[in-house]
Amino acid sequence: MTAPLIEPTPRGLYCRAGDFYLDPSRPVARAVITHGHSDHAFPGHGAYLCAEPGVAILRQRLGARASIAGLSYGTSRDCGGVRISLHPAGHILGSAQVRLEHRGEVWVCSGDYKLDSDPTCAPFEPVRCHTFITESTFGLPVYRWPRPALVAAQINGWWRGNRAAGVSSLLFAYSLGKAQRILASIDPSLGPILAHPSILQFYPAYETAGVALPAVDPATADRVRAASGRALVLVPPAAAESLAGWDPGPAALGCASGWMLLRAARRRGGFDGGFVLSDHADWPGLQSAIAATGAEQVLVTHGCAAPVARWLCETGRHARLLETASDWHSADDEPIPPGND
Amino acid sequence: MQHFCRLCEQLDIAEGGPGSRAILQRYFRDAPAEDAAWALFFLLGRRPCRVIGARRLRAWAVETAGWPGWLVEESYRSVGDPGETLALLLPAPSRPRNWAFADLIRDRLLPLEAASPARQREWTQQTWEELDGAPRWLWNRLITGAFRPRVSCQQIVLALADVSGLPPAQIAYRLLEAWAPTPASYRRLLAELSTDADLSRPYPFMLARMLTDPVESLGSTADWRLEWKWDGIRAQLIRRAGRCLLWLQSEGLFTDMFPELADAAAALEDGTVLDGQIVGWEKGHPLPSSKLVRRMTGQTRARRLPLDPPAAYIAFDLLEHQGHDIRCQPLAARCSILKSLLQPLGAGPGLHDHARCVPARGESCDVTSGSPIRFSASLPAQSWTDVRAFISGARKTGATGVTLRRLDSVYDEGPSACVWWECAVSLFTIDVVLLAARSVRDRGRRGSGPFTFAVWHQGELVPLARADLELDREETDALESYIRHNTIERFGPLRMVRPELVFELAFDDLQSNPRRRCGLAAERPRIVRWRKNASAAAACTLEQLRQFLTARCQGSANRAVPGPREKTIQH
């Protein structure tokens, strides 16, 4: 039995053969980054490798001095005898699954991924492999997403209704990925759109990648007040405190997240508009993605790993938990997990 | 169906707050009468008996969806609501149907009860195939009898009053009458009929204010009527057209909860309205109002044990006499008529025998002897010194203070009329340690809600009471920042904080309560102030509280106990 190509370490997933890490949480010499969310792209590494469309995002996160290399989807690079290639994961712009090939053995680490359509990034691409490391944020059969087009229509309807009632629409959405996905999906002709600066900081990166986004003004206290009753204001949940300084007049509160499927999450947040829109795969998505890899072995991490692994075993796959000591924190892009504010 | 589901969701989010009224108002304005009638039925907490047990429902859902039991269990742990878990686990509807709420109740829910178990399963599964999302959740809740709306009766009454343009009193009165969840009955409920309009109407309550100035500022004692203030529920007792009604200031019509008072009121003549206080009264002692509130809660109601604890009605004013509104007469005149009305009812002696100023403990004034409707007698005070003596003695009689009402005053609810004063509630205070805070979100802003406070017990902190804090802006910010930086553990929205902050907690009384970890329940706990310089180690201990309780039970003076100190907020 040969040593596993990828093994968990306190710093993150480690490839010994190529001497590099995947999404390490503590400083290392060489890191392959699946996508630019802050719980995957940590600062302080010696050299970064990520998918070409994600370079600008990483640059924005890590500053001008970080050494970042981009790799086009599907092309490969050799690293200590390990062939690395990156393949679209459909999670956010520049998100990638990492394919590693070493002495004929192929491993794929999914990173975060979704199968639903998203106008702001390349769609998920199944990659055949021997071992598949999958995330499992929403790995329970209760989690099944409505079609994204339907959700976009719901957001439009909510905004239109609020406007008719003279009420501002405050929508919580994570600043990278979710917010841009919403902006690219909704109908910008309904009224003025304002976005928190932390959302707008990634606009150039999307422009570079050729993703068309509607014109949006930065949300400041003055603009929010001026557009009161008409505007759609996008705010990341982490910046909820900044609402204290704004005066949007009467406002309806919405949130776009996979957790919005649950009544308890909507109630706890006091969300009048709860939109089930996730950048993670739902239960059917996980199952079909795993099946499409044809993997002999599935390692499950990050979220509902235990039930997913057990389900895979019971349905005839070789699956087990992958204990990651550094643990990817799912809370970052999914703002309101149940049982936790 | 969607309409009603949306209403439930909005009520959930409003959390019984002031927004509920507008939400209900919108619903009842727009919903067809058929649906609205059933909505009203369920919102008022009525329900057909529980038809399907949760376990059977789960078994059917598992059978339909085909998931293994352990996966259902895992899902439930993630979702937290059995009805919702099953609704989400079931496959998408194969034959979607847009049910009207009333139709679903009539065609599916009501026949379910009489059906055979096989038919029950068939109909339930058939309905699952037709409903999705929130309606499916609602269906699961309804058939298991687990639908609990987050709305108070009072808010429903107010909303229906808004929709119909009728006074709330009339709506509440009509809801008391037998009505069925039918469109005709619903329309009758909101219809403009004048016959019953006046029969139920209470008068606007005149409220006493807290006296913050010294009592001497009120002038001469001879101008004032001095009475005990009891810890109870303010209510008007209305006797009109052969019916007796109790109108609670906080809840609206609530007659059915106090049948003994309604029975006793039958001895009054028609056209009488009393103002007074409902007080729990047992073995000669007034009980804290929390006991009465417990009696009024749903559980006791279902078990039909409404007479525990027995209630007394302490009448202190007369608003309507022989069918005439006498609120414009001076208080002295109203009270003398009131006294003459109540004396023939034969109220038991003791309670109002104030010649000795304070009735001895254990004296017979049980409500079972004589009528439970009693006259609130005037306390004899020659000088303000006497008044102060009554105030400091209030606690020993079981009263929470005294009220002072001007003898020449008319009954007027207007804010300008400051002629009723409440005075000098003595209470106990102890130092407690902040143990946990619940985070709440208000319009997206994070904040902290009810706080849990603890006392020491063998080197550990045990929770004693939960209370809200009323701090100024600066203190609130300081506290929020402390909580953010000193959270040691989280349980859902509950944050356990490093136990370092000391607060002064006031409470009315202490009861033993075996259901709680500390074994004690503080009545009406509230925070007086943040004791910034106090050390957590010096906070009160459970042993001190237990000694205090024992001392109180034995009737000995409570000042001897080192723990709780009696505090007079104002004189």
* Residues from chain A contacting residue B12 (CB–CB below 8 Å): 263, 266-267
Nearest chain A residue (CA) to B439: A341
Would the pTM of this model clear 0.80, i.e. be above it? no
The string of pLDDT tens digits covering residues B387-426 is 888 887 777 777 888 889 988 888 876 655 567 888 755 5
Query: What is the reported pLDDT for B301?
Result: 43
CA distances from A248 to A224, A262, B117, B445 (A): 6, 27, 55, 14
Do A243 and A299 fall within a single domain? Answer: no
Residue in the structure block whose two tokens are 């039909």: B304
Query: What is the reported pLDDT for A327?
Result: 43
Query: What is the reported pLDDT for A295?
Result: 93
Nearest-by-Cβ selection for A311 from B71, B446, B492 = B71
Number of residues assigned to chain A: 341
Interchain contact, B490 vs A311, CB within 8 Å? no
Nearest-by-Cβ selection for B444 from A240, A266, A338 = A240
Residue A337 domain-assigned (yes or no): no
Q: What are phi and psi of A189, to 5 degrees?
A: -80, -5
Distance separating alpha carbons of residues A172 and A177, to the nearest angstrom: 13
Chain B: closest CA distance from residue A240 (Å):
6
SS3 per residue for B427-489: EEEEEEEEEEEEEEEECCEEEEEEEEEEEEECCEEEEEEEECCCCCHHHHHHHHHHHHHCEEE
Interchain contact, A172 vs B444, CB within 8 Å? yes
* Residues from chain B contacting residue A341 (CB–CB below 8 Å): 439, 441, 446, 492-493
* Residues from chain A contacting residue B7 (CB–CB below 8 Å): none
Residue A238 domain-assigned (yes or no): yes
Looking at chain B, the whole-number percentage of residues with pLDDT higher than 70 is 83
Distance separating alpha carbons of residues B279 and B9, to the nearest angstrom: 37
Query: What is the reported pLDDT for B243?
Result: 82
Q: What angle do CA B263, B365, B373 make, to 5 degrees?
A: 30
Distance separating alpha carbons of residues B399 and B376, to the nearest angstrom: 12
Interchain contact, B13 vs A270, CB within 8 Å? yes
User: If pLDDT is split at 50, 70 and 90, which confidence band does B72 have?
Assistant: very high
Find, among B321, B314, B301, the residue nearest to B233 by Cα: B314
Q: Characterize B77-115 residue by residue with b for buried, 16 or more Cβ atoms within 10 angstroms of its Cβ, and e for exposed.
A: ebbebbbbbbbbbbeebeeeeebbbbebbeebbeebeee
Do A295 and A218 fall within a single domain? Answer: no
Nearest chain A residue (CA) to B11: A267
Nearest chain B residue (CA) to A243: B445
Contacts of A110 (CB under 8 A, 6+ apart): A34, A89, A97, A132, A133, A134, A135, A289
Element (H, E) at A85: strand A82-88
Element (H, E) at A71: strand A68-71
Residue in the structure block whose two tokens are 């019916």: B243
* Residues from chain B contacting residue A272 (CB–CB below 8 Å): 10, 13
The string of pLDDT tens digits covering residues B281-315 is 877 778 777 677 767 664 444 444 556 678 889 99
Find, among A261, A60, A37, the residue nearest to A142 by Cα: A261
User: Domain range spanning residue A202?
Assistant: 148-275
Residue A203 domain-assigned (yes or no): yes
Return the structure tokens found at A271.
Answer: 């969300």
Residue A74: how many other CB atoms lie within 10 Å: 13
Find, among B82, B447, B13, the residue nearest to A268 by Cα: B13
Nearest-by-Cβ selection for A142 from B10, B70, B78 = B78
User: If pLDDT is split at 50, 70 and 90, which confidence band does B191 have?
Assistant: confident
* Residues from chain A contacting residue B75 (CB–CB below 8 Å): 140-142
DSSP tag of B106: I
Element (H, E) at B89: helix B82-89
Query: How many residue pairs bridge chain A and chain B with CB atoms within 8 Å of each other?
Result: 86
* Residues from chain A contacting residue B88 (CB–CB below 8 Å): 141-144, 261
Nearest chain A residue (CA) to B67: A141
End residue of a domain, out of A231, A255, A275: A275
- Pick from B74, B132, B442, B487 the residue to mutate for testing the A interface (most A CBs within 10 Å): B74
Say which amino acid occupies A54. Answer: G
Residue A15 domain-assigned (yes or no): yes
Residue A118: how many other CB atoms lie within 10 Å: 24
Chain B: closest CA distance from residue A278 (Å):
16
User: If pLDDT is split at 50, 70 and 90, which confidence band does B178 have?
Assistant: low
CATH number at residue A127: 3.60.15.10
Q: What angle do CA B447, A143, B444 make, to 5 degrees?
A: 15
Do A173 and A296 fall within a single domain? Answer: no
CA distances from A256 to A119, A244, A272, A295 (A): 16, 21, 11, 33
End residue of a domain, out of A275, A295, A319: A275
Residue in the structure block whose two tokens are 């599964």: B125
Distance separating alpha carbons of residues A149 and A155, to the nearest angstrom: 10
Compute and round to an integer the Cα radius of gyration of chain B.
27
Nearest chain B residue (CA) to A308: B71
Instruction: Please report the ipTM that was assigned to this predicted complex.
Output: 0.87
Residue A222 domain-assigned (yes or no): yes
End residue of a domain, out of A226, A244, A275: A275
Return the structure tokens found at A79.
Answer: 């690293």
A83 inside 8 A of chain B by CB: no
DSSP tag of B519: S
Interchain contact, B68 vs A314, CB within 8 Å? yes
Residue A310 domain-assigned (yes or no): yes
CA distances from B290 to A39, A79, A166, B303 (A): 49, 73, 43, 19
Q: Specify whether the CB–CB gap between A94 and A113 falls below 8 A.
A: no
Phi-psi region of A204 (alpha: psi -120 to 50; beta: other; left: phi over 0): alpha
Find, among A75, A95, A122, the residue nearest to A22 by Cα: A95
Do A117 and A165 fall within a single domain? Answer: no
Do A135 and A284 fall within a single domain? Answer: yes
Do A99 and A159 fall within a single domain? Answer: no
Residue A338 domain-assigned (yes or no): no
Positive or negative, the Cα torsion across B248, B254, B255, B257? negative
Nearest chain A residue (CA) to B447: A241
- Pick from A142, A261, A282 the residue to mutate for testing the B interface (most B CBs within 10 Å): A142
* Residues from chain B contacting residue A275 (CB–CB below 8 Å): none
* Residues from chain B contacting residue A338 (CB–CB below 8 Å): 78-80
Distance separating alpha carbons of residues A297 and A304, to the nearest angstrom: 18
Do A20 and A135 fall within a single domain? Answer: yes
Find, among B138, B141, B185, the residue nearest to B50 by Cα: B141
The string of pLDDT tens digits covering residues B241-295 is 888 888 887 766 666 778 788 888 888 888 899 999 998 887 777 877 767 776 7
DSSP tag of A94: T
A240 inside 8 A of chain B by CB: yes
A13 inside 8 A of chain B by CB: no
Instruction: Concatenate the DSSP letters of all residues of B373-424 into one string.
Output: EEE-PPP--SSHHHHHHHHHHHHHHT--EEEEEETT------TT---EEEE-
Distance separating alpha carbons of residues A234 and B458, to the nearest angstrom: 51
Domains delineated in chain B: 2-143 (no CATH), 209-423 (3.30.470.30), 426-568 (2.40.50.140)
Return the structure tokens found at B472.
Answer: 């100024």
- Pick from A144, A241, A263 the residue to mutate for testing the B interface (most B CBs within 10 Å): A263
Query: What is the reported pLDDT for B559?
Result: 39
Element (H, E) at A273: strand A273-275
Query: What is the reported pLDDT for B427?
Result: 66
Q: Structurally, how many domains does chain A consist of?
A: 2
Nearest chain B residue (CA) to A309: B71
Do A139 and A152 fall within a single domain? Answer: no
Do A21 and A136 fall within a single domain? Answer: yes
* Beta strand pairing call for A12-15 and A20-22: antiparallel
Contacts of B80 (CB under 8 A, 6+ apart): A262, A264, A338, A339
Positive or negative, the Cα torsion across A249, A252, A257, A262? positive
Do A69 and A123 fall within a single domain? Answer: yes
Element (H, E) at B54: helix B54-65
The more confidently predicted of residues B553 and B84 is B84
Phi-psi region of B248 (alpha: psi -120 to 50; beta: other; left: phi over 0): beta
Residue A247 domain-assigned (yes or no): yes
* Residues from chain B contacting residue A340 (CB–CB below 8 Å): 490, 492
Element (H, E) at A60: helix A55-62
Query: What is the reported pLDDT for B12?
Result: 84
Chain A: closest CA distance from residue B43 (Å):
18
Q: Specify whether the CB–CB gap between B534 and B500 falls below 8 A.
A: no
Can you name the residues that pair with A251 across neighbouring β-strands?
A168
Find, among B320, B317, B174, the residue nearest to B238 by Cα: B320
Chain A: closest CA distance from residue B461 (Å):
24
Do A64 and A128 fall within a single domain? Answer: yes
Do A80 and A46 fall within a single domain? Answer: yes
CATH number at residue A202: 3.40.50
Q: What is the mean pLDDT of each run of 10 residues along chain A (341 residues)?
A: 82 92 92 93 94 93 92 92 95 95 94 94 95 94 94 95 91 93 94 92 91 90 87 87 74 91 87 92 95 94 90 92 58 39 30
